[in-house]
Copies of this chain bind each other. A is one copy, B any other.
Amino acid sequence: MSEFALIRRYFAHLGAERADVALGVGDDCALLNIPAGQTLAVSLDTLVSGVHFFPDVAPEALGYKSLAVGLSDLAAMGADPAWATLALTLPAADETWLRAFAAGFGQLASAHGLQLIGGDTTRGPLSVSIQVHGLIPTGTAIRRSEARPGDAILVSGTLGDAGLALRHRLAAAPVASELQRRLDYPEPRVALGQRLRGIASAMIDLSDGLAADLGHLLAASGVGAELELAHLPLSPSVAAQVAATGDWSLPLASGDDYELCFCVPAPSLGNIASLAAELNVNLTQIGWIRAESGLTCRLPNGERLPTLPGGYDHFRTD
């Protein structure tokens, strides 16, 4: 099958059909009409075989996760998902693989009312680049740079599950299905991000580990933070691992959590419990913003964690 036939068959119609798409897949550009009063939010991410995923990953999971990573970036600004473009580089055109990839992508796209509007398929080593596009009422985007001393720091969900799945896999140990699901099918916190407009002062999604990502937020805001490690929300498996080893690097420094880390000024903290209940998402306060720069982590015994584990950095750690 030719490149063009492949594109037509699997990627011409994926996800929602949106009225604001004037022209979708099939011309030199896609054409989009942005409603008045809305700001466009965009994010481009690449996932490379052997770096971001195992070469034998299920194509359906890869299609899902490639989009989930982008949706998590939209969530971290408080944006409403709208459109995506997909650049897929493949060693060969395997129709079975493509069908599964498109199914995983399309399922998540439809769930979020997002339409695939264009992209590129090329031959080469397996990798996926996805750009997501979202809309935010102008002036309400939640940036990294607006955290202020005294703000509470919260995270959604639990931390370190995908990292534990990865550790088990790398050690050729069995991986519990719930952990595998956290690694392969992360749930982007889109609804939470939207609902935090007007509540959170600053936000970031956790893709490279809490310490590194929160570090970016602190640097952008020109502030520091104190975390209570005893308050980190951990699944039973991760909690057991930390208890057995005394090593906090799983919840602090493993990637692929795709939870939201956000700051809330004291007057707005009263909204959080009802929001958590309404969305059925755990929202946990793990610390607070301080004026003094740096990130201090308090161990459960009150002592300070002597060394902060680093986050994932493609060019530094490999």
List A residues at the B interface (Cβ < 8 Å): 1-4, 6, 22-23, 26-34, 36, 39-52, 73-74, 76-77, 79, 85-87, 89-90, 92-93, 117-125, 127, 129, 131, 133-134, 136, 138, 141, 143-145, 203-205, 216, 220, 313-316, 318
Contacts and interface: CB of A to CB of B under 8 A. Distances in A.
Contacts of A77: 27-29, 31
27 contacts: A2-B313, A3-B313, A3-B316, A23-B141, A27-B144, A27-B220, A28-B74, A28-B204, A31-B39, A32-B41, A32-B42, A34-B34, A40-B40, A42-B85, A44-B87, A44-B119, A44-B131, A45-B120, A46-B124, A46-B129, A48-B124, A52-B122, A92-B315, A122-B314, A124-B125, A124-B127, A127-B127
Contact of A39 (B28, B33, B138): B33
A44 B122 CA distance: 12
Contacts of A87: 44-46, 87, 129
A86 B46 CA distance: 10
Contacts of A123: 48, 51, 314-315, 318
B28 A32 contact: no
Contacts of A314: 3, 121-123
A57 to B, nearest CB: 15
Contacts of A89: 46, 48, 127
Given A48-B124, A314-B123, A131 B85 contact: yes
Contacts of A92: 315
Contacts of A44: 85-87, 118-120, 129, 131
Contacts of A52: 122
Contacts of A26: 144, 220
A125 B122 contact: no
A135 to B, nearest CB: 10
A65 to B, nearest CB: 15
The 7 tightest CB contacts between A and B, nearest first, are A48-B124, A29-B41, A28-B76, A129-B129, A93-B315, A44-B85, A123-B314
